[in-house]
Amino acid sequence: MAAKTKRTFVCAECGGASPTWRGQCPRCGAWNTLAEKLGGPARIPGPDGLPSGLPIVLGDHPGADFKPFPTGIDGLDRVLGGGLTPGGAVLLGGEPGIGKSTLLLQLAGLAAAAGRRVVYVSGEESLPQLKSRAERLGVLHDGLLAASTTDAGAAVDILGASPAPDLVILDSVQTMHAAGVEGPAGSVSQVRAVAAACVEAAKRGDACLILVGHVTKDGQIAGPKLLEHMVDTVLYLEGERRHLFRILRVLKNRYGPTDELLVMEMREAGLNEVPDPSTFFLGDRDPAVSGSAVVMAMEGRRPFAVEVQALAAKSFLSMPRRAALGLDVGRLHLLLAVLEKRLRLNLGQTDIYAKIGGGLKIADPGLDLGIAAAVLSSFYDRPLPAGAVFWGEVDLSGRIRPAAAHDTRLKQAERLGYGPIISPDGGKGRPKADNLGDLARLLFS
């Protein structure tokens, strides 16, 4: 029996294929361009206009100019690896109300003021709402265009418009709906389809696309994990809404570093970069109070001083309470067990609470020594030496190991005038703490 001939309808404009005839091409949106072709679909052009799937000599490819353009925020350019790349796709995630839309509207205004064509597509706010917020932020400009729609096809048309925009912001991908795809807006199928269509449209042109993504209860960007694989850069804006600071982290970056962060401060006129966050999170710290230690922490490539607070109080419960804010409670339990074992302390009748000052959340192993010092200070009710700074990792034997980027932390601590500097790597007359016993003798003997 002869094999059945496969029927395919190919678009005369873009080469896109469809298994059935349609009045409108599902790829480029052109009308009445689909024609039947026997023998299988035609190859779809790739982002560079060449047929996709055909191998070529990589060295012979003409390449493309991916020179990024500045955002107008120096710290953001550093985080992104030089700025926004034409044809690139960026995903920005964060909790509701943390300032994602504010940051992007500021970015759009700065790009428009620099003479670039910017389109802000909002599926969450109306145009009057956008204008009101833009006026408050002072970013209204003739080059800043806006659209309020939840139609993913409209966003694709904007990305492929002529003249092409330099920057398109889609706020947010979970509010957009793609025609012909089952499920409501925000479902896995819709998020996948909307992101794929928009990213593909950005890759075909020179527009930089920024997608805003919602987050789930556990802090992950909502939607399929494929969403993060589709884009070139993944950013995450975090912080406590009741605090003024915000931290922009890089989780993925094809054009720059992945261990950078940007510290910003929320003000009435928007988010302002904190140029030197070295001591920003110490606040009005009182060194004469027990249970407070300064740690030179590393977040990405940047060191800055943070305050580790601890409170040890007599417990009236059968099982004493242990609580931690800004650090892993499992780490606190581990350090308390090591302190109790190696220093022969009786912590079984003591409630112990620990937190990072300023509402920060830090996972740096170098915090261990500062947490131990703060707990001991509160337990003995004796303040630590004024100006003392700590860093080091504590293992289960009670030994203190050097933390990563020791030299970077040391240079920053010396620049800020801290002393004594207590770390497992002493030198130059500095106190050296090899284990928790040495730490207790240095601080409380």
Question: Tokens standing for 383?
Answer: 């303040």
Burial of 300 (0-12, 13-18, 19+ CB in 10 A): middle
Helices 436-444/329-342 angle, 10° precision: 80
With 0-12 CB in 10 A as exposed, 13-18 as middle and 19+ as buried, what is 138?
exposed
Q: Is 101 annotated as a binding residue?
A: yes
pTM: predicted TM-score of the whole model, two decimal places = 0.74
Q: pLDDT digit string (tens) for 189-227?
A: 888 899 999 999 998 888 899 999 888 766 677 666 778
How far apart (Å, rounded) are the C-alpha atoms in residues 291 and 383?
Answer: 7
The answer on whether 371 is annotated among ligand-binding residues is no
Residue 395 and residue 392: Cα distance in Å, rounded?
10
Name 255's Cβ contacts closer than 8 Å, sequence gap at least 6.
66, 68, 80, 81, 82, 85, 88, 232, 233
Cα separation, 117 vs 331, in Å, equals 49
Give residue-wise pLDDT tens across range 78-129: 889 889 999 899 999 988 888 999 999 999 999 999 999 999 999 999 999 9
Q: Is it true that 74-273 and 292-444 share their CATH fold?
A: no
Looking at residue 380, what is its pLDDT?
Answer: 94
287 known member of a binding site: no
Known binder of ligand: residue 352?
Answer: no
Residue 218 makes CB contacts below 8 A (sequence gap 6+) with: none
Top mean pLDDT of 68-82, 219-233, 289-303, 341-355 is at 341-355
Domain ranges for the chain: 1-46, 74-273, 292-444
- Where does the pLDDT of residue 62 fall: very low under 50, low under 70, confident under 90, or very high at 90 and above? low
User: Per the annotation, does 94 bind a ligand?
Assistant: yes
Give the rounded percent of residues in the chain with a pLDDT score beyond 70. 90
Q: Is 292 within 8 Å of 279 (Cβ atoms)?
A: no
Residue 100, marked binder: yes
The reply to whether 219 sits in an annotated binding site is no
Q: Which CATH superfamily is domain 74-273 in?
A: P-loop containing nucleotide triphosphate hydrolases (3.40.50.300)
For the chain, what is the mean pLDDT? 85
CATH number of 292-444: 3.30.230.10
pLDDT more than 90, % of the chain: 43
CA distance 129 to 145: 14
Q: What is the pLDDT of residue 308?
A: 95
User: What separation in angstroms does the CA of 185 have from each of 73, 212, 216, 319, 329?
Assistant: 33, 14, 16, 47, 37
- Which of the residue ranges 44-48, 139-143, 412-416 would you say has the lowest mean pLDDT? 44-48
